A and B are shown apart, each in its own frame.
Chain A
Amino acid sequence: MLELLTMLGAAAMSYVAFAWLALSQEGNWRALPGNADRPMPAPAVQRRWRWRAASMLACAYALCLWGHGPSFGTVSWVLLSAAGAMAVAFTLSWRARWLRALAFQ
């Protein structure tokens, strides 16, 4: 059970982290409904999103290490990062409005 919970937790963290990274890029931010004509958030906000993303990925790694040990934890984290980033890409293509919840400054 711990295996599943830590994996799900780290997966959610990885998804949120990559969502912030994506939002910090103008093209992806504009893909959100209603953002096409709005001014892009200030560079300081973009930087904040990137810092949050990096911290979130670090937390995901810590959770993987805690739940799965150094070797399984590292491999899990690398694979979860790929899965999280891919899930964000698909969200941007099909359900971009979902990411609005994370676009807070």
Chain B
Amino acid sequence: MGDTFTKSMAALHTWAGVTIGALLFAIFWMGTLSVFSNEIDRWMLPDTRLEARDAATAPSLDRIAQAVVPGVPAGARQWRVDLPTARTPVVEFSYRGADGAEHGRLLDPSSYAFLPPQGSAGATGFIVPFHYHLHLNWMETGKWLVGVAAMTMLVMLVSGVIVHKKIIAQFFTFRPRKRLQRSALDLHNLTGVLALPFHFAIALSGLVIFMTIYFPQSYYGAYGSTAKDKAAFTAEAYGRYTRKPANAPGPLASLDAMRDRAEREWRGGQPYFVRVWNPGDANSYVELRRSYAHDMTMNLDQIYFDAATGEVLARFEAGPVMTVQRFFSGLHFVRFERWTLRWLYFLGGISGCVMIATGFLFWLEGRRARHAKHGLAGVAVVEGLTIGSVTGILLATSALFVANRLLPADAGYAGVDRAGMEIRVFYLVWVLAFCHAWGRCTRAWREQLWAIAGLCVLAVGLNWVTTGEHVLKALAQGQFAVAGMDLGLFATALLAMMALRRIKRA
């Protein structure tokens, strides 16, 4: 029984890894980058490299309103400003038009002037959503694929522990000088076992975040399954106050006074965004949400004010179960302002990427000779899949950064704006990387690693040429995000070169 069980777990681990591994790597890679999404934003959106402000000098909400309200078209359902933070030194203004479409601009919190359009989605607009829905929005396909990948990850972690023959004896074992198959397995076990709590918590919390999609039964039982039931659940769980427009004009009272009131109610807690619903209407109301920059739990505290009088209309705080859900969310989102812990999350993400890539390498090296002997196509197909999903996505990401610095400000083609073109460069390079991998087989490893190293160094050079900033200057000016991104690109190039050297030996 024991033997059959281990064998079946081994088969499960292998098949789950080969089929889902490529998708899982893409999610892990984008998730790892998302840890530093705001920092990557500073690099990709050079106009936003403003001096970071401390909380004591929060900009005036009334002056922000003066600046943005003329830009809100009549009939807009709401407008919103996200206030600057230590990591994002700009005001993010957005509004939802009468047709439901969202539009956004960035504002300098010192001068209250709009920044020019950035022509880029940045990391928060492309990399972060890629991590959780792969930009496949039809019928939530992307979120479901990510959910399946996360569930498979949990299955693989458990089956991997069962399959591992010497978990204690080889707890610290890494033999880089042995055959590639052996070294790859060592590294796979090392990253899998030592970072197991991290991987497990990340996959599980990822599933918990989208509980209404993945486990809707949890509220169906109490509320029902219709759209109305879902709205009732959302209102009670996440908080929502609504009021229909009166269709008569109305004023907007002082937002700064509302903020002062909210801060008193929250005993010093500060708002991180302000949203004005039904703007300009007599029944307009203002929503303030409390910041969780210093907590793990992403609180749902909100206060609604009457826009005309500034009177409090409603307050909301999450119940106990939702607070647990928001703790898991916080554990996953890494929105808190703790840069040392942020780095540890980044390293954890990298270890996940290494675990997936070395799992593939072990599978390939274990079968290469046998498949060649029996004329089987398995290794060729999986090797192409591995190269395309591992070095391919790194290559596509490097190309995204190069395109970000290379495309002219007014770039656009066939109705696609500059931001869209950057993203198309990413997908184009990724598809080409897969074609190249299947066409060139094992040689593609070398060629793609060279290309990654080249593009990363090029991206650093282009940042210098187009913005005048290089690592030393960025460090001297306190632009740690820009310096970190440049150094990260250098490190990626260096790691690609080291991988090349290791491949030559294999």
Stretch in A32-40, A43-51, A55-63, A67-75 touching the partner? A67-75
B174 close to A79 (CB less than 8 A): no
**Contacts A71-B296, A85-B171, A94-B176 hold; do A79 and B348 have CB atoms under 8 A apart?**
yes
Residues of B198-240 whose CB lies within 8 A of A: 198, 201
A101 touches B (CB below 8 Å) = no
Q: Please count the residue pairs between chain A and chain B whose beta carbons lie under 8 angstroms apart in the complex.
A: 71
A82 close to B341 (CB less than 8 A): no
Q: With a CB–CB cut-off of 8 A, which chain B residues contact A78? A: 197-198, 201
Give the size category of B's interface with A. 20 to 34
Complex Cα distance A27/B327, Å?
Answer: 41
B195 close to A92 (CB less than 8 A): no
Query: Chain A interface mostly helix, strand, loop or mixed?
Result: helix
Per-residue A-contact encoding for B159-193, CB less than 8 Å = 1, 0 else? 00000000001011111100000000000001100
A80 touches B (CB below 8 Å) = yes
B327 close to A71 (CB less than 8 A): yes
B194 close to A86 (CB less than 8 A): yes
B169 close to A25 (CB less than 8 A): yes
A3 close to B351 (CB less than 8 A): no
B336 close to A89 (CB less than 8 A): no
CB-nearest residue of chain B to A31: B172
Complex Cα distance A4/B339, Å?
Answer: 9
B336 close to A79 (CB less than 8 A): no
B172 close to A76 (CB less than 8 A): no
B341 close to A79 (CB less than 8 A): yes
Q: With a CB–CB cut-off of 8 A, which chain A residues contact B169? A: 25, 27
**Contacts A75-B331, A79-B345 hold; do A7 and B340 have CB atoms under 8 A apart?**
yes
B174 close to A93 (CB less than 8 A): yes
**Contacts A4-B340, A68-B338, A82-B198 hold; do A75 and B172 have CB atoms under 8 A apart?**
no
* Inter-chain pairs besides A21-B171, A79-B344, A82-B195, 9 sampled, C-beta below 8 Å: A4-B340, A22-B171, A25-B169, A68-B338, A76-B340, A79-B198, A82-B194, A86-B194, A89-B194
User: Could you list which residues of chain A lie within 8 angstroms of chain B, going by C-beta atoms?
Assistant: 3-4, 7, 18, 21-22, 25, 27-28, 68, 71-72, 75-76, 78-80, 82-83, 85-86, 88-90, 92-94
